[in-house]
Chain A
Amino acid sequence: AQSVTQLDSQVPVFEEAPVELRCNYSSSVSVYLFWYVQYPNQGLQLLLKYLSGSTLVESINGFEAEFNKSQTSFHLRKPSVHISDTAEYFCAVSYLEDSNYQLIWGAGTKLIIKP
């Protein structure tokens, strides 16, 4: 069975400091990997995705994530956070099962930016 683990429910960090949000997955089949961001009282927005090719993927607002197949990880990083990055971040994995794609979610990590 496939699973996604986000070990940290909350990550507090000072503004302009670097941050890493961890995501590990377990799967016996090939997967696609996603990070979604959810700002307070809003829907989910796709932040970045890994489908194939380069294992390092970047978003337009400075986040990046690296797919590490041997460690089955897809950690999200940003070198310098801003107060506007305060949000909940969800890691998700998509895989093919019985000709349909399934999407499973991590429990989410709240990024708390301290001024």
Chain B
Amino acid sequence: DAMVIQNPRYQVTQFGKPVTLSCSQTLNHNVMYWYQQKSSQAPKLLFHYYDKDFNNEADTPDNFQSRRPNTSFCFLDIRSPGLGDAAMYLCATSTSGTDTYEQYFGPGTRLTVT
């Protein structure tokens, strides 16, 4: 089945220690998104890639970076995690064109910062 995969599902990191979360997709979608979701809140868009074009949300902290080496993979790098970065991180994909309105989500990675 075509899907969005996130690894790991649970990640524990230490305060200030860089961490990378990964997302892969078999849907062949050209748009990929990273969201941060804190407990009992709606997802918050951090950035997205339209093909290789990177689009950063205005309020995304510089501490968060992303890489997309190819169509299938996208990474979220947190350079110096703080306690406030503990959250669920969700990856999503969509097509471009007339179907862009629908996003397909992965299972998420829950990040704990100790």
Contact = CB atoms under 8 A, between A and B. Distances in A.
B18 interface: no
Contacts of A101: 94, 100-101
Size bracket, chain A contacts? 20 to 34
A32 B105 contact: no
Contacts of A108: 40-42
A78 interface: no
Ranked nearest first, the 8 interchain pairs of A and B with the lowest CB-CB distance are A94-B101, A105-B42, A43-B108, A43-B107, A101-B100, A44-B105, A32-B101, A101-B101
Interface string A27-53: 000001010100001111110010100
Interface in A74-108: 88, 90, 94, 96, 100-101, 103, 105-108
Interface of A: 9, 32, 34, 36, 41-46, 49, 51, 88, 90, 94, 96, 100-101, 103, 105-108, 110
Interface string B17-51: 00000000000000000000000111101000010
Contacts of A34: 102
A57 to B, nearest CB: 13
A41 B110 CA distance: 8
B100 A100 contact: yes
A22 B88 CA distance: 25
B103 interface: yes
